[in-house]
Chain A
């Protein structure tokens, strides 16, 4: 027994020696505070959702010349707290960023332990009520991007109507969603309203898969929508399931998170996505200059956070590029509002008042009036979406999730 212990201890000592050899990285103070960012990702680059974050992290850090470390495949549990601690203790990071909604509570645990480190979290909802100075949420007004993508979709429907392929009342779109969360509802509603702004007769069917990433389910959902009479498909899910189903069936597709034009050259119209690089640069510069980071930060078209990919002229209707630019200018100068209550009804009635669940609690209690001057103020009260109204014209085919 003793011998074994001795042998293993010896091994351990050798390791320590080896490790000692190369440890001389002493930080050199600059005029700006030293920053090292630690990123926590739910999956790895194989998921379009995480890849979007990983690309932005690389771009932002390289542009600012800031070091960064990352941990991939971190589940939404206690592992997230451990990952944050490791990034701080081992890699010496002083900004920690996590990319998934479910990371939030576990990231906040680490934020309590390390008050000198800044913690930023995408898509979360609790920073404005948590009372932690070093914990921050961020999101983007992606509903504006979806609205623009919807305009492109509406243009395509108009083209089909004009060509006599479908009648005006047959202009039905299909949408593959993940869960019945506000984030998804806000997304498909803004997409629908965008289409409706150019094609007033449009309706939409929505199917939910109950998963953010399930290629087979998303493919089947898209196929079911197509056979149900939908002439254009969009989705809020991360796999290639729906786009490839559309390419096979020859049905136009509006994508999300990035261009799918390589796999779907004949059907891909346009895709909206959030570019996280502006936020990453913002949080880094805040720490460098010692400025406090906002509890809630909402990226917009203006900050460069909400972007559209190049429009695929092969699939899009003529004049789409010009029309999208025109609406975009309207969104920028404030003449176009996505959730203008004049443009939709709920149960046949206009919506005049709505209490949204802005301050997170276990029972999702509605707590804050969201409609001001006839506009539903999405992402004003906090960065993460809270529009969860079911408006007329959109049929939810299943609500099991």
Chain B
């Protein structure tokens, strides 16, 4: 145990921040769960104060917003929840390899949009020209390619000229959005809208249009986990992320790893774009990804780059989002309240990491302090 303020003369500050020894894993998780519960309670209390509804109504409404009415026997809202979680999770999975390499890919939004755009173009242009299985294959490949290209451009510049990837990927988002806008302008016939297209839709399994999306993202989750933790390339990513010099020293081609990882990152985004356009929306607009590409950055961090923890984190974010959104609608709050609530929860979850790594001591406790 090391104290930051080791020197003590006349005056000792009231509060000390002390670095903890490594906390036990279960303890750390207890802190995290406590943070989530506290955040949910705070959201509940704020809602109560704003809406004058009672405590249980608040949580009932939140639950309904996410999972649907209890006892209605309908699973439509549950599937809606799973779909939204799957999309957010998929994008989080996409940015994770890049993040692990300390390449800050803030461009998931644009990469997914480009993947979606590729699907849309195939559906419109090739929908009546190719047989269904061939069409699906073409859609899949072009979406992956489009996402990968959008991801690899900043990576090449990073690898060759060491440009700032955060700004570069953010900029690529704007370009993607404008390309979509232009496409809507030429394809939308004055209304700037594309009506849902019936060709080239992903098949429906289990009688549910979201089921395939959820399944594909689950498979991706396992693949990304295995890739990061049990493959040579995954190891290379970790080494490059820890120290580029070490990586070079042990003979890893850093440029190659950066480019290869961003191709993977962009390709997964492309797949998510395809799931959104060909799988569910059958149409595209600038709002198709809906900012989830940015929320994914948060989820990836909250999940500590572990795909399985990211499942829980994306589910949590979507639950809060849908739940408080419903509450805002039901109780006449502004719909921005959902964003505020998600902000509160993320603040708590990120904030609790501080308490996992540091402890706060008051002056008189210092001597007999124990962790």
Contact = CB atoms under 8 A, between A and B. Distances in A.
Contact of B60 (A22, A101, A181): A22
Interface in B248-300: 280-281, 283, 285, 287-288, 290
Interface stretch (A85-93, A292-300, A307-315): A85-93
A21 B60 CA distance: 8
Interface residues of B, number: 43
Nearest to A74: B335
A181 B64 CA distance: 40
Contacts of B309: 4
A8 B330 CA distance: 27
Given A8-B312, A90-B65, A78 B60 contact: no
Taking chain B's interface residues, is the majority helix, strand, or loop, or is none over half, making it mixed? helix
Nearest to B30: A7
Interface string A100-113: 01100110010000
Interface in B64-83: 64-65, 68-72, 74, 76-77, 80
B36 interface: yes
A19 B60 contact: yes
Interface in A117-167: none
Interface string A18-39: 1111110000000000000000
Contacts of B36: 11
Given A19-B63, A23-B60, A89 B329 contact: no
Interface residues of A, number: 42
Contact of B329 (A8, A11, A72): A72
A70 interface: yes
A368 interface: no
B314 to A, nearest CB: 12
A396 to B, nearest CB: 16
A4 B334 contact: no
Contacts of B196: 105-106, 109
A263 to B, nearest CB: 23
Given A8-B33, A19-B63, A71 B70 contact: no
B27 to A, nearest CB: 11
Interface in A341-393: 362-364
Contacts of B74: 89
B189 interface: yes
A340 interface: no
Given A19-B63, A362-B189, A11 B288 contact: no
A77 B281 contact: yes
A286 interface: no
B29 interface: yes
A70 B326 CA distance: 9
Given A21-B56, A90-B69, A364-B189, A72 B335 contact: yes
Interface string B302-327: 00000011001000000000000010
B329 A4 contact: no
A4 B309 CA distance: 9
B191 interface: yes
Contacts of B137: none
Contacts of A220: none
B133 interface: no
A18 B76 contact: no
Contact of A18 (B59, B69, B191, B290): B59
A19 B288 CA distance: 31
B359 interface: no
Given A71-B329, A75-B285, 12 more contacts: A3-B26, A5-B312, A11-B37, A16-B63, A18-B59, A19-B60, A69-B329, A71-B335, A76-B193, A78-B283, A82-B80, A362-B189
19 contacts: A4-B29, A11-B37, A18-B59, A22-B56, A23-B60, A72-B329, A76-B285, A77-B283, A77-B287, A77-B288, A78-B283, A78-B288, A85-B77, A85-B80, A89-B77, A92-B69, A105-B195, A109-B196, A364-B189
